[in-house]
Structure 1
Amino acid sequence: MEKFCQHSCQHPLIPLNDANNTFLTAAEIHKGAILDMYTYRNENDLSQVWAYLWNSWYYPNKWVLWACSASECILVLRTTMVVEGFWNHLKHTTLMSFNQPHINFIVHLILMQIIPTVNLKLSYHICPKSLAPWQCDFKKLWADYSKPDDVCQTAKEKVTISNPRNTKAWWQECLDWLQEEEWEAGTYNTSLHDWTCSCPSYLHSHFLICKHLI
């Protein structure tokens, strides 16, 4: 899953986290992702998994549907999540009381119930009275990244110590903590003009921010 996320988030405008701050083209990212997955398949004897990944995800016609590198600009909105959220809302709320409705009735429900709700939400976001949940998350993340490294490290240590031990979450926190300690400080290629950074935090950030840009 980590490899899959890495391949999904890579983009020609985001440099690699290496000594030369290398920028890869979209074709090189696609080729490297295929090679990475194929090598992993050979090392673990996962021929059936590779067949599924190639046909459903890494085939050129499928790759452009989900990889960020297929777009010229860095994508912020996760379109797949938005579409899945819309259909989930339609299925479990609007269509919950109807059994196999006709297509014309579904269109009527979308026009009369879904679209007015969407317009109401859009008007709220254009002239908000309070921060939306994602804005609160962004504000909190920005504040956390603005803190000095020693303050953040102390806070992480307190959380790790206070959490129940010998659990999966506890071991994952310890692993993340050790990995962050191994990262070399001041070796990332940061561009305020392009708002990009080669650090791992930026690559996987939902808001495309990291402490090096703040």
Structure 2
Amino acid sequence: YRIHGHQHPEIPFNNPDQPHLTADEIHRGAVRDMYNYCFQNDLSQVWAYLWNRWYNPIQWKLWVRAPEPAIPRLNTTMIVESLWRNIKHRDLAEFNRPRLDLVTHIVVTNVLPRVKRRLDYIRGERRVGRGGEVAGWQKDFRSAWKDFSRTDEHRLVAKELAIRKTSKTSKNRAERLEQMAAEGEREPGEYYTDLEKWVCSCPAFLISRFLLCKHLVREANAKLNNKPL
């Protein structure tokens, strides 16, 4: 399900014979995968729901990347859900099942002015001349880039140390350490990368929030001689 939503014709598969699929091929493959899973597990009602609400051609275009010409970075409902969460817990926290006219009044008088101020900050039209605030996603992007820039050994050691610092009675601690050991012994894979299109065939790129992976970041760093732009 997660992979189906992130696939895109521009994102290559690690298959030299057919590195790219069209949007229709991605849709047919996703439908086939989900149908086979439901058929093998006798989930007829689940398949009926998935087809009617998610995988039929009309609904499919509303939540996946594949139909778009460019690779979308944001999920379909991410911004709407975030805005509604703020309204619900910040502006409507003291109201139980408020009337529509009250909600409209709060949106007009409280929410929209706040959104406008935020947009002014983003567009540099508020407090001109002062340094802009760094957004949370920018900090996360920088952290992800720095992490991918490190060697596999460095990243593996950092992950293992983070696990070992947890309590010995913490849940799944032993299993996570075993996974780290297995990851250290696994041979690195070979993937197709394209800096011009900024795509990679590795699984990490497919589900990355920022369309990043260690292969692209390291190749970009090498091209820039590890110097900032």
**TM-score, normalised with respect to structure 2:** 0.81
| Correspondences of 1:61-210 after superposition (within 5 Å) | 61-127=58-124, 129-164=132-167, 167-168=171-172, 171=175, 174-175=178-179, 178=182, 182=186, 184-185=188-189, 187-210=190-213
Q: Residue 22 of structure 1 aligns to a residue in which SS? A: coil
| Equivalent pair of 2:8/2:23 in contact (CA under 8 Å) | yes
Shift of 1:19: 4.3
Q: What is the alpha-carbon distance in structure 1 between the residues aligned to residue 28 and residue 173 of structure 2?
A: 34
Gaps of 5+ in 1: none
> Bigger CA drift: 148-157 or 165-174?
165-174
Shift of 1:181: 5.3
* Greater helix content: 1
Question: What code does the residue aligned with 2:197 have?
Answer: D
| Equivalent pair of 1:17/1:200 in contact (CA under 8 Å) | no
Gaps of 5+ in 2: 125-130, 218-229
Question: What code does the residue aligned with 2:193 have?
Answer: T
> Bigger CA drift: 26-35 or 144-153?
144-153
1:126-157 CA distance string (max 9 Å, x none): 34533211111111111011112221122122
Aligned residues between the structures: 210
Question: What code does the residue aligned with 1:201 have?
Answer: A
**TM-score, normalised with respect to structure 1:** 0.86
Change (3 A) 1:14 1:62: same
Question: What code does the residue aligned with 1:167 have?
Answer: K
Shift of 1:174: 4.5
Q: What is the alpha-carbon distance in structure 1 between the residues aligned to residue 178 and residue 18 of structure 2?
A: 28
Q: Residue 70 of structure 2 aligns to a residue in which SS? A: coil
Q: What is the alpha-carbon distance in structure 1 between the residues aligned to residue 57 and residue 166 of structure 2?
A: 44
Change (3 A) 1:174 1:60: farther
CA RMSD of aligned residues (A): 2.4
Alignment correspondent of 2:37: 40
The percent identity for this pair of structures is: 40
Question: What code does the residue aligned with 2:3 have?
Answer: Q
Q: What is the alpha-carbon distance in structure 1 between the residues aligned to residue 70 and residue 142 of structure 2?
A: 24
| Equivalent pair of 2:156/2:180 in contact (CA under 8 Å) | no
Q: What is the alpha-carbon distance in structure 2 between the residues aligned to residue 146 and residue 90 of structure 1?
A: 38
| Equivalent pair of 2:195/2:216 in contact (CA under 8 Å) | yes
Shift of 1:88: 2.1
Question: What code does the residue aligned with 1:71 have?
Answer: E
